[in-house]
């Protein structure tokens, strides 16, 4: 327990999950749109919608950073063949609220929420990233994390149900600044103590099933750690192949075996190699 508590303290606030869905407290689309008047700023792949004229500078920066993140994330997961998909009437909307109070009132999000991504939601009826102004992590964490979720959903389309939650969350965190080295250092003592989540449980785990902040923190950190291991140990090309196989409709283990042919044939193989790699330092 001490190892896990130390681990949670080390990365608390850095690997806090940003939910991919949300609940609206009885607010329908017509009611929601009537509550706020948005100003639109349009880019190639995004439309930033904000509510106050003095937020224009923030909106410009948000739009530029979103376009940069889109190009980078597309390259990282092999989405580049779909690079023109988010254009014109398919552009993603980034909804920027002026503060946390208006954000939570309008969306019904929990007070701890910093932002979320949604697709075809009741509230906005489009692909959206929703957040609020005044957060230090907007450009380094929240924005790239949520854009990664949307790209993965589009890349995997109807096969999303076959994609483990941990893989999606690991990729989303991968796009956040300064996370790779931090998570490697944080996970090593956890793995050494045998206190990671066993893969036979982890592979189908939903964060909503977890009962404590420590467990949730471990789930997200372990997710990122495995993604970093796959990329750094076996290269970006094999990681691309993994998503191609998933897009072709294969189960995760079948996709894993084809992408890492002769090296990793199952989650059990992945677990043993991940543990061995962490133990080698």
What does the pLDDT look like over 150-190, one tens digit per residue? 999 888 876 656 789 999 999 999 999 888 888 989 999 99
Does the pLDDT value for residue 240 go beyond 80?
yes
For residue 124, tell me if it sits in a domain. yes
What does the pLDDT look like over 81-124, one tens digit per residue? 665 678 888 899 999 999 999 999 999 988 888 999 988 666 77
Q: Which of 106, 134, 160 is the last residue of a domain?
A: 160
CB atoms within 10 A of CB 277: 15
> Are residues 184 and 170 in contact, defined by beta-carbon separation less than 8 angstroms?
no
- Are residues 8 and 111 located together in one domain of the fold? no
- Are residues 63 and 152 located together in one domain of the fold? yes
Percent of the chain with pLDDT over 70: 83
For residue 51, tell me if it sits in a domain. yes
Q: How many domains does the chain have?
A: 2
Q: Which of 160, 183, 202 is the last residue of a domain?
A: 160
Q: What is the mean pLDDT of the chain?
A: 84
List all residues 6 or more positions away from 119 whose beta carbon is below 8 Å from its beta carbon: 126, 127, 128, 150, 153
Confidence at 137, pLDDT banded by 50, 70, 90: very high
- Are residues 233 and 270 located together in one domain of the fold? yes
What does the pLDDT look like over 41-86, one tens digit per residue? 999 999 999 999 999 999 999 999 999 999 998 888 877 766 567 8
- Are residues 233 and 126 located together in one domain of the fold? no
Average pLDDT over residues 117-135: 84
Which pLDDT score is estimated for 160? 56
Domain that holds residue 33: 29-160
- Are residues 155 and 172 located together in one domain of the fold? no
- Are residues 187 and 237 located together in one domain of the fold? yes
- Look at the pTM and tell me if it is higher than 0.95: no
> Any bridge partners for residue 95, and if so which?
49, 130
For residue 23, tell me if it sits in a domain. no
CATH of the domain at 148: 3.40.30.160
Which pLDDT score is estimated for 115? 92
Confidence at 11, pLDDT banded by 50, 70, 90: very low
What phi and psi, each to the nearest 5 degrees, are found at residue 145?
-60, -50
Q: Which of 160, 191, 218 is the last residue of a domain?
A: 160
Does the pLDDT value for residue 3 go beyond 50?
no
What tokens were used for 229? 């291991």
């Amino acid at each position: 327990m001490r190892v896990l508590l130390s681990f949670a303290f080390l990365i608390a606030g850095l690997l806090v999950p940003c939910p991919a869905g949300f609940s609206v407290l009885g607010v329908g689309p017509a009611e929601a749109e009537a509550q706020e008047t948005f100003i639109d700023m349009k880019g190639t792949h995004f439309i930033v919608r904000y509510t106050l004229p003095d937020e224009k500078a923030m909106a410009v920066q948000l739009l530029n950073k979103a376009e940069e993140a889109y190009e980078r994330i597309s390259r990282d997961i092999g989405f580049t063949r779909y690079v023109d998909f988010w254009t014109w009437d398919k552009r993603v909307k980034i909804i920027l609220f002026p503060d946390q109070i208006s954000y939570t009132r309008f969306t019904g999000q929990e007070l701890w929420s910093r932002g979320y991504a949604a697709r075809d939601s009741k509230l906005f009826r489009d692909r959206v990233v929703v957040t609020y102004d005044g957060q230090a992590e907007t450009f380094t964490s929240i924005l790239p994390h949520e854009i990664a979720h949307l790209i993965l959903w589009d890349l995997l389309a109807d096969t999303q149900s076959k994609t483990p939650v941990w893989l999606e969350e690991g990729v989303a965190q991968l796009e956040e600044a300064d996370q790779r080295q931090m998570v490697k250092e944080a996970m090593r003592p956890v793995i050494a103590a045998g206190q990671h989540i066993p893969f036979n449980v982890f592979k189908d785990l939903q964060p909503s099933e977890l009962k404590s902040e420590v467990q949730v923190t471990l789930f997200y950190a372990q997710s990122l750690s495995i993604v970093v291991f796959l990329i750094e140990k076996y290269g970006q090309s094999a990681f691309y192949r993994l998503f191609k196989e998933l897009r072709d409709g294969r189960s995760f283990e079948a996709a894993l075996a084809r992408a890492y042919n002769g090296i990793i044939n199952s989650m059990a193989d992945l677990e043993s190699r991940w543990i061995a790699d962490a133990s080698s330092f």
